[in-house]
Amino acid sequence: MPSISRKGQQMPESPIRKLVPYAEEAKKRGIHVHHLNIGQPDIKTPQVALDAIKHNTVSTLAYSRSEGSEAYRNKIATKYYASKNIAVSHSDIIVTTGGSEALLFTLGSITDPGDEIIIPEPFYANYNGFSIASGIKVIPVVSKIEDNFALPPIEAFEKLIGPKTKAILICNPGNPTGYLYSKEEIQKLAAIVKKHDLFLISDEVY
């Protein structure tokens, strides 16, 4: 029987998903489980969205453009980003199936095998899996609980930047810390990536 690839063998299991069977088994035994594991929204889905789906008259769901529906991307640019005074064209936007696919596409587009990305730690555990899938290495820079997990000093980033560094990746607000980077911190990151000609990836799923 053929074996799976070395990359496949190295792919880490999600620590969150690993605990699910134990939680489900506990529920079956009547134990109340407090879920602190996944970013499941607790707000109701807007009725207008549910109604739009329910009353949709489209008879065939055909393939869309690879980058997503142009009408949808136009709305994102002219309604959402424009309301934040951010000048973005629909041609700058790609619609993906969730944030994980967006990150995999991004890493696949900007990195080569052996490249490195710097990520403030603690970070979303699946970043490790994304890096293995992309053939790159995560270089953690530690953010401290004593500082409420604020952005580590820029000097700490400087020490880690080397010839293989391709990008800095942040999650904002942070997962799992919940820390929200300030405008000043983002500006510091923008300055360092410009200085070293790096990419800055901001995972803003929350």
Average pLDDT over residues 96-104: 94
Please count the other Cβ atoms lying within 10 Å of the Cβ belonging to residue 119.
Answer: 21
The domains located in the chain, with CATH, are 45-95 (no CATH), 96-206 (3.40.640.10)
Mean pLDDT for the stretch of residues 13-17: 78
> Could you tell me which of 121, 117, 112 has the C-alpha nearest to residue 161?
117
The whole-number average pLDDT for the span 19-46 is: 87
CA dist 27 and 69 (Å) reads 42
pLDDT number for residue 61: 85
pLDDT confidence of 48, banded at 50, 70, 90?
very high
Going by C-alpha positions, the residue among 127, 128, 129, 132 that lies closest to residue 113 is 132
| pLDDT the model gives residue 115 | 98
Task: Please give the pLDDT value at position 76.
Answer: 96
| Angle made by CA atoms 158, 162, 168, in degrees to the nearest 5 | 65
Does the pLDDT of residue 17 top 90, yes or no? no
Beta strands in the chain (DSSP E): 116-121, 137-142, 165-171, 199-203
Average pLDDT value for residue range 108-115? 97
Closest CA to 136 of 157, 118, 123, 159: 118
Dist. CA 131–CA 133, nearest whole Å = 5
Contact yes or no for 161/118 (Cβ under 8 A): yes
Instruction: Give the model's confidence band at 160: pLDDT under 50 very low, under 70 low, under 90 confident, else very high.
Output: very high
Task: Determine the pLDDT at residue 183.
Answer: 95
Q: Which residues lie below 8 Å from residue 174, measured CB to CB, with a gap of 6+?
A: 120, 123, 149, 180, 181
What token pair was written down for 18?
């690993």
Residue percentage of the chain with pLDDT more than 90: 77
Over residues 194-204, mean pLDDT: 97
Asked whether the predicted pLDDT for residue 36 surpasses 80, the reply is no
3-state helix, strand, coil in the chain (%, to 5): 45, 10, 45
> How far is Cα 126 from Cα 123, in angstroms, rounded to an integer?
9
In this prediction, residue 42 carries a pLDDT of: 80
Instruction: Kindly report the average pLDDT of the chain as a whole number.
Output: 93
pLDDT tier at 11, thresholds 50, 70, 90: confident
Report the candidate in 155, 147, 156 with the shortest Cα–Cα distance to residue 181: 147
Tens digits of residue pLDDT in 68-95: 999 999 999 999 999 999 999 999 999 9
